[in-house]
Structure 1
Amino acid sequence: MVENIAKIIEALAKLISAFAWPAVGAYLIWRFTPTIKDFLSNLSEGSLKAFGVEASAKRAASEAIAKADLGGGADKTKLKPSEERPSVESAIRLAELVTDAIPRRELQGKRVLWVDDRPDGNRYEMLALAEFGVAITIARSTEDALKLLSEAPFDLIISDMKRGDDEEAGYDFLAKLLPLHINLPVIFYTRSKLDETIARQRGAFGVATKASDLIILITSAVSRRSFDSYWKRRSRPFDQGNLF
């Protein structure tokens, strides 16, 4: 008799357990249905598409940065056979770190004037910036650059240093900007031997020799705090003996 009662109790316990979890699930669905509906309504098709575009742009930018760095960075035609290039793995890893660290919104919509007499050598760098949403205008000379600056607004200037036989064309261009009160950050992108301290003294925001460094420097330049600090420094008269 006792054994039969025990078996009945055990069977009832299993039956209750079998119905308990579905009941709990039904309660949770009933309890949180409004929240789930709100979440699904906010997660619209447009949002999903935006996530996809962002991811796709980051992949494309990362690939372009890695290709640029593997090609030798700025002024690739000057790269000597003895100079070391980064390994494929390290270039890809660095490019991915850069694109992951910089949200697309930081650069999207920015307008860059790129001064270089051989712009084809920067095609991967320009592709990477385009994937970040940057609009690029090319000038092949100082004269073209000054003309473009008088016609349209820009957020940043990227310049090479040597053009033709002029070893310091970048510095000459920089000197012509100051009296015109063109208060834009100027970044030198070059593999030429260039002392960054002197370049900053002369008014440059910074110097980059690799695409990955260039992207980071551009992001820093367009931030308000960095720009204000840079412009205060640049507005001071150049003094060869004074290190900023």
Structure 2
Amino acid sequence: MTMAYDGHLFHGFQMQPNQRTVQGEIEKALQKMTKGKRVIVEGSGRTDAGVHALGQVIHFDYPGNVIPADRMILALNSMMPMDIIFKECEIVSEDFHVRYSAKGKWYRYRVSLDRFVNPFKRFYTGHYPYPLEVERMQIAAKDLIGTHDFTSFAASGGQIIDKVRTMYYVNIEKDEKENEIVFDFICSGFLYNMVRILVGALLEIGNGKRPVDDFPRIIAAKNRQEVRETAQASGLYLYHVFYDELPKKYRQDLDL
């Protein structure tokens, strides 16, 4: 099932004791539908507290009689709180896994450039009220494309040992109407806080605090201390998960 949620009032996706989580809300609804049986929900990614999703994907094994996909989406949406909505539903083969079957993930990050924090955006964008040169960030982002060890962009606390990933696509544009910078990253997989750390470094480059060609040095260092900044959770969105081969328009790595 593909879903969207407003992460502001959630303590992340993953179930945690005595905390409101996305997984917890879904499993609570499924337990009602199965009259008390626990159904374990797997997510394509474990978004943190305050992080949003437009294209999170989950799977679960529903016990008992098969419920058609159209009825499942109606049933779950009728039981969801206002900050969760299911958008698509399909019955998949036994060998499908929402995380391991993914070919790539797309995260989007939005940064407001307003001088003061907009009260209507404060939970849905990051905030950076300093001078920025978008072109500097666009040039720097080219050095992220390809297969690299992203250790320098992984926060402590992650469980993954192998930190080599392939970055397929990075796009940075200014949304003039909203006065925001929009960052898009498509990668084979993301490490803990990786997108927020990348955005933090790119903002420093855009502001002139870092040189445009700093990413090769940072990547080679394999040291988290090289990038201290981590952008706020509020601007991050899990935008899409790819289960088929990525379209060529999102494969900037093929041009290397």
Greater strand proportion: 2
> What TM bracket, shorter-length normalisation?
under 0.3
Greater helix proportion: 1
TM-score, normalised by the number of residues in structure 1: 0.24
Structure with greater contact order relative to length (CA < 8 Å, sep ≥ 6): 2
> Which structure would you say has the larger Rg?
1
